[in-house]
Amino acid sequence: MDLRRRGLLAGAATLPFAAKAQGQTAGDWPNRPIRLVVPFAAGGAADSAARAITPVMAQRLGQTIVVENRTGAGGSVGGGAVAAAPGDGYTLLWDASSHLVNPALMKGLPFDYASFVPVSLVVSFPGVLAVKADFPGRSVAEFIRQAKERPGAISVGTQGNATAGHVGLLQFTRRAGIEVIHAPYRGGADAARDLAAGAIDAVFITTVSAGPIVDSGRARFLAVATLERVPSRPDVPTLAESGFPGFNSNEWAALFGPAGTPAPVVARLHAALADALADAGVKHRLAQIGAVPVGSAPADFARFVREGREQMATLVREAGIRLD
């Protein structure tokens, strides 16, 4: 599903009617600061996007938004903290693809990821296939040919097992009919560093992580894993253009509320988010970190989450993915 095509206009057109239909009002919400839990480390792409967007959202809502990093257990520590909070709009979750992966991989979680109320897929971080500077191939077709000539010999780094990069790599190799060595790291920056040093042959990570080493001449982009070319990298073809129609694999950051978050509160959050994503300063800051604004409507995002969770469960089972 291409959420960007539905995006902000769909949300703006439908949300007020949905709220009225349910006969609920937001009342005096918000009348105190809002806590936004980010289950990832400070300074990373998801955290940076949250801190770029929330100041403008806070202005529109008339209350402070406090970003709180609660890391651990693949994002489930922060997720659990929000799941245990009241659904009153004062505690929110800023999550990523782990929101879909964790239910498929982690058994015995003390909360249900399906209970969260989706507000919006806020930004995406385009995935990319990049190779070391001296890799003998300058296109996706040549990469595939090399992999078929040397089955199981080409190493490809990702930001870790069961991450968006790992899933994207699995989808790519399955469709290409090739076998590679998966090299999971503890983050895209680590994988990029080893690619720059020539320790691995390729990476399937985000443009955010791979960009610096490509710009320094120590690696080369082969393709981005988006349906459309990335504005910051207009010369890099997509995998869809390179023989894989419909291929779309990205990391993302999204806004959720705990169970019970009222529809009018969701509507106000989405409206404030839409204003933030339209702000010129926010656009500039997001572009600097390689984030692409999305701002999908809650109904579209709910469908994305539901379908993505089902697809992830199937992929994890069929591919035998395990946690590190």
- Tokens 């291929």, residue located: 247
pLDDT at 24 over 60: no
Question: Could you give the domains of the chain?
Answer: 3-124+251-319 (3.40.190.150), 126-224 (3.40.190.10)
Say how far apart CA 160 and CA 83 lie, in whole Å: 25
User: Looking at residue 324, what is its pLDDT?
Assistant: 58
pLDDT tens-digit map of 149-192: 999 999 999 988 878 899 899 999 999 999 999 999 888 889 99
User: Looking at residue 323, what is its pLDDT?
Assistant: 67
User: Looking at residue 25, what is its pLDDT?
Assistant: 52
pLDDT at 18 over 50: no
Give the pLDDT band of residue 13 (cuts 50, 70, 90): very low
| Helices of type H across the chain | 7-21, 45-61, 76-83, 98-105, 140-149, 164-176, 188-196, 207-215, 263-278, 280-288, 298-319
Give the pLDDT band of residue 294 (cuts 50, 70, 90): very high
CA dihedral (136, 141, 143, 148) positive or negative: negative
User: Looking at residue 286, what is its pLDDT?
Assistant: 94
What is the CB neighbour count within 10 angstroms for residue 200?
21
pLDDT tens-digit map of 221-244: 999 999 999 988 999 999 999 999
pLDDT at 56 over 70: yes
Q: Looking at residues 271-278, what average pLDDT do you find?
A: 98
User: Looking at residue 38, what is its pLDDT?
Assistant: 95
- Tokens 């480390």, residue located: 41
Q: Tell me, what amino acid is at 139? A: S
pLDDT at 113 over 70: yes
Structure tokens at 320: 């035998």
pLDDT at 94 over 80: yes
User: Looking at residue 282, what is its pLDDT?
Assistant: 98
